[in-house]
């Protein structure tokens, strides 16, 4: 009886005990800066990781001035094909989702913004991105084609997500930009949240892609950038490519002028490969590259030519203009600061004038040591000298000597050549 009573008590205790469930998960990533290849890779990997962790959704906290077209397209494609609902949250207060950020926000499953944030200004200024650089005055036909493509692209995205298509088109055509409050009123976004907790509360119960989100009190797991993604996010900047290009120039030319140094050549080759890789990603103006190459040619030619520095001055001007044209200075995202251009121009000019110039001129100086310095010297024969041989004394040493024309003892002769340990003489004056 006692055993039965104990079992009954235990059963009742288990039956009345509250059931504990594991907290739902929400994955979070933070994008703060320009949109580039590393960003696209990071977002794609985070979507897959959120799926693996069975997260309710992936929240992307976004603050960006714009980015590259190719990267933006990849991000939009990953959103539209994501097995996990993607929430883009423009935050914190004061953040912006302009240019590429506007496309990305509109493409999200749920678009949210914090108070006092802005979205819009998605007009592409050139082929490189939203916005981007490349040509100071791009071809009008290509510019129009790019604008038409951008309008149809954002129209498709907005239609897919059932957002305000007309405003989305105006963001591209007219660079329209609005606040979070106005965006909610125009149905450009779905909600405004003051912080992450508020966002999760407002997402809770929302039906997204046929799934009811359970985000209230969910565990937020931030997905960090991998070391490779962090490094490349820092690398793909105009100033980094510019510095790598200068290192490549200094290293390779330094190796060519001082063969055998090895280290400058290795460093220059690595920098060149990285610069070429970045040039394939960043919107680079070919005219700027040509002017920089012309400047290098003028610097080198001036070492050999007697132009009294005229070509060097021309090289400085060409290098300065080429650096200014290398990226579009009208675009703040890909603008190369004068703080980099002016010092680089002065350092490059000094490098060629004082380092490379002195090195090349030193190679052109006549030989001052070795056997070659004996040629042309006047010596006195210590013994009779003919084709069979004789002896001379020069530069503190005794030498065996031969001569096609017989030379008498104590007669002066000129050294015509040095063949091994034997000098060949000719009669003085002949």
Residue ranges covered by each domain of the chain? 23-230, 237-364, 371-427
- Give strand pairing partners of 225: none
- Residue 294: φ, ψ to 5°: -60, -40
Q: Token digits for 175?
A: 């660079």
Cis check: omega of the bond before 54, within 30 degrees of 0: no
Q: Give CA angle at 398 (393, 401), nearest 5°.
A: 80
- Residue 190 and residue 211: Cα distance in Å, rounded? 16
Q: Measuring CA to CA, which residue among 96, 78, 91, 89 is closest to residue 39?
A: 78
Q: What is the pLDDT of residue 257?
A: 66
Question: Please, are residues 90 and 62 in contact by the beta-carbon 8 Å criterion?
Answer: yes
CA distance 348 to 254: 12
Cα–Cα distance measured from residue 19 to residue 194, given in angstroms and rounded to the nearest whole number: 32
What top-level class would CATH report for the domain 23-230? alpha beta
pLDDT of amino acid 430: 58
Angle at the Cα of 172 (from 46 to 187), degrees rounded to 5?
70
Taking the C-alpha atoms of residue 305 and residue 22, their distance in angstroms, rounded to an integer, is 79
Look at residue 15 in the predicted model and tell me its pLDDT.
47
Q: What local confidence, expressed as pLDDT, does residue 330 receive?
A: 55
Beta-bridged to residue 220, according to DSSP, are: 26
pLDDT, tens only, 60-88: 999 998 888 888 999 999 999 999 999 99
pLDDT by position in tens, the chain (length 430): 445 545 544 455 444 444 444 578 999 999 998 888 889 999 999 999 999 999 999 999 999 988 888 889 999 999 999 999 999 999 999 999 998 899 999 999 999 999 999 999 887 765 444 443 334 444 577 777 888 888 899 999 999 999 999 999 999 888 889 999 999 999 999 999 999 999 999 999 999 888 899 998 899 999 998 888 888 877 777 888 888 888 888 888 777 766 666 787 888 888 888 888 887 777 778 888 888 888 888 877 776 666 666 777 888 888 888 888 887 655 566 677 788 888 888 888 887 777 665 555 555 555 555 566 677 788 888 888 887 888 888 877 888 888 888 888 888 888 888 877 788 888 776 5
Whole-number CA gyration radius for the chain: 37
Place of tokens 């239609």: 159
Give the homologous superfamily in CATH for domain 371-427.
Nucleic acid-binding proteins (2.40.50.140)
pLDDT score recorded for residue 130: 47
Cβ–Cβ < 8 Å for 111, 120: no
Question: What is the tens place of the pLDDT at every residue in 35-65?
Answer: 888 899 999 999 999 999 999 999 999 999 8
pLDDT for residue 405: 81
Dihedral over Cα of 328, 330, 335, 339: its sign = positive
Among 244, 275, 220, CA closest to 58: 220
Cβ neighbour number for residue 61 with a 10 Å cutoff:
21
403: left (phi over 0), alpha (psi -120 to 50) or beta: beta
> Is it true that the peptide bond before 11 is cis, omega within 30 degrees of 0?
no
Please give the Cα distance from 255 to 258 (Å, whole number). 5
Locate 265 and state its tokens.
Answer: 């050549």
pLDDT at 128: 45
- Whole-Å CA distances, 25 to 52, 54, 203, 225: 11, 7, 13, 19
Cβ atoms of 29 and 60 closer than 8 Å = yes
């Amino acid at each position: 009886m006692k055993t039965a009573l104990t079992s009954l008590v235990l059963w009742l205790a288990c039956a009345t005990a509250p059931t504990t469930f594991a907290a739902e998960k929400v994955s979070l990533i933070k994008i703060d800066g320009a949109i580039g290849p590393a960003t696209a890779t990071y977002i794609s990997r985070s979507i897959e990781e959120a799926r693996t962790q069975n997260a309710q959704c992936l929240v992307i906290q976004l603050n960006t001035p714009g980015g590259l077209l190719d990267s933006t397209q990849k991000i939009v494609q990953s959103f539209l094909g994501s097995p996990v609902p993607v929430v883009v949250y423009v935050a914190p207060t004061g953040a912006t989702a302009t240019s590429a950020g506007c496309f990305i926000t509109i493409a999200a499953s749920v678009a949210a913004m914090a108070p006092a944030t802005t979205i819009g200004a998605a007009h592409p200024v050139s082929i490189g991105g939203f916005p981007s650089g490349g040509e100071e005055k791009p071809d009008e036909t290509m510019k129009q084609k790019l604008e038409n493509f951008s309008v149809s692209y954002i129209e498709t995205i907005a239609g897919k997500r059932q957002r305000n298509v007309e405003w989305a088109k105006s963001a591209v055509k007219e660079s329209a930009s609005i606040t979070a409050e106005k965006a909610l009123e125009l149905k450009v976004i779905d909600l405004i949240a003051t912080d992450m907790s508020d966002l999760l509360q407002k997402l809770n119960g929302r039906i997204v892609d046929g799934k009811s989100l359970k985000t209230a009190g969910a565990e937020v797991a931030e997905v960090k950038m991998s070391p490779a993604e962090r490094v490349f996010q820092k690398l793909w900047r105009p100033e980094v490519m510019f510095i790598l290009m200068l290192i490549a120039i200094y290293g390779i030319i330094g190796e060519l002028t001082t063969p055998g140094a090895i280290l400058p050549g290795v460093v220059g080759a690595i920098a060149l490969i990285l610069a070429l890789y970045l040039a394939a990603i960043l919107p680079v103006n070919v005219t700027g590259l040509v002017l920089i190459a012309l400047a290098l040619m003028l610097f080198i030619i001036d070492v050999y030519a007697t132009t009294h520095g005229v070509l060097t001055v021309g090289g400085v001007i060409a290098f300065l203009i080429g650096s200014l044209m290398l990226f579009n200075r009208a675009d703040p995202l890909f603008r190369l600061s004068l703080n980099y251009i002016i010092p680089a121009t002065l350092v490059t000019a000094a490098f060629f004038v004082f380092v490379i110039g002195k090195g090349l001129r030193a190679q052109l100086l006549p030989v001052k040591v070795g056997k070659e310095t004996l040629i042309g010297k006047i010596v006195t024969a210590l013994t009779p000298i003919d084709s069979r041989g004789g002896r001379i004394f020069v530069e503190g040493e005794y030498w065996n000597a031969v001569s096609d024309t017989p030379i008498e003892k104590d007669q002066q002769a000129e050294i015509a050549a040095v063949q091994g340990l034997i000098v060949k003489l000719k009669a003085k004056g002949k």
